[in-house]
Amino acid sequence: MIELEGVPELIDPVMVAAFEGWNDAGDAASTAIAHLEREWKGEVFAALDAEDYYDFQVNRPTVWLDGGVRKITWPTTRLSVVRVGGDKPRDLVLVRGIEPSMRWRSFCNELLGFAHELGVEMVVILGALLGDTPHTRPVPVSGVTSDPDLARRLNLEETRYEGPTGIVGILQEACTHAGVPAVSLWAAVPHYVSQPPNPKATLALLNRLEDLIDLRIPLGELAEDARAWQVGVDQLASEDSEVAEYVQTLEEARDTAELPEASGEAIAREFERYLRRRDGGTAPGAPGIAPGGAGSAGPSQTRPPRPPKREDPSDGGGDAEAEDG
């Protein structure tokens, strides 16, 4: 039995998790959790035993000095809690860690133990993957679930992914088997500029999370960072004619594929977000799943790698499909 001391009774808690590693292209998902912790001053109340789940030759501990005293930080997964005020206060349980090296089933069961003890109503797992998406367009964010009822109720996709999976996929399936509603939000990161940070993808995930759980998330300087990131990538891409041509091809493919998105429903979702931010509260109507927005920090000064050679880049397959997590 997990006993939690010092954690108050939570109000309508939702667990939001992200893991560094395979499921975190551009560090977009883990940075989103870090942003929530920072903006809402999350307090860590638990950490999983690093010895149980991590290979320290893969994820090495770090040594640091605290007032002249040497200390060690072990790679692990930590849980913090934040209370979001307003007309309808609620609590978020934030899970931030590294994809474990081993014992994934035990790892998920331990997280679910915390979720049960805290009365978590839903688990939202954030992820990011590399895709054939241009950096100049809104970041695609797909919301998927294994629960058909949840898919209908929240206007999500019911996952059909088959193939290799990471801890995000395993945790979502563990939630499903335990009867805990679970959703995964996946942001697509341009594969030709995959180095972190990618604040644009982070912002897109937070926008989608905001709509999903019907909370206004303070964005701080994230939108400005996202614009700076895009300007920086624009400059780097313009220095290489091959990359610039490839980006244009992706833009044309994306714009053609998304013509139906210029619909009344898509416009209404964006208008709801505008009202929410203007009024500082909840937008009228039921929360929807909004398209990915612009988002965040300055790019690395490394030149974007050249795209893979293709006879016809338009046949490259589009954005990578979100996996079952």
Q: Are residues 95 and 17 in contact, defined by beta-carbon separation less than 8 angstroms?
A: yes
Residue 120: closest CA among 76, 154, 85, 79: 79
- What whole-number percentage of the chain has pLDDT above 70? 78
Half-sphere exposure of 305 (CA within 13 A, CB side): 9
SS3 127: strand
With 60 as the cut, is the pLDDT of residue 258 above it?
yes
CA 256 from centre of chain: 26
Mean pLDDT of 53-74: 94
| Whole-number Å distance between alpha carbons of 276 and 306 | 40
Q: Mean pLDDT lowest for which of 38-52, 81-95, 247-261? A: 247-261
Please check the confidence at residue 270 and state whether its pLDDT lies above 80: no
pLDDT higher than 50, residue 184: yes
**SS3 sequence of 212-254:** HHCCCCCCCCHHHHHHHHHHHHHHHHHCCHHHHHHHHHHHHHH
Residue 47 C-alpha from the chain's centroid = 21
What pLDDT sits at residue 3? 64
* DSSP tag of 90: E
Task: Find how far residue 239's CA is from the centre of its chain.
Answer: 30
Q: Which of 29-43, 274-288, 296-310 has the lowest mean pLDDT?
A: 296-310
Highest mean pLDDT among 69-83, 144-158, 237-251: 69-83
Answer positive or negative: Cα dihedral of 25, 29, 30, 34: positive
Residue with tokens 């002249």: 68
Contact 108, 31 (CB under 8 A): no
Quick one: pLDDT band at residue 137, thresholds 50, 70, 90? very high
Closest CA to 48 of 110, 125, 109, 124: 110
pTM: 0.78
Mean local confidence (pLDDT), 130-159:
91
Amino acid at 118: L
Phi, psi of 221 (to 5 degrees): -95, 15
Q: Comparing 101-110, 113-122, 248-257, which segment has the lowest mean pLDDT?
A: 248-257
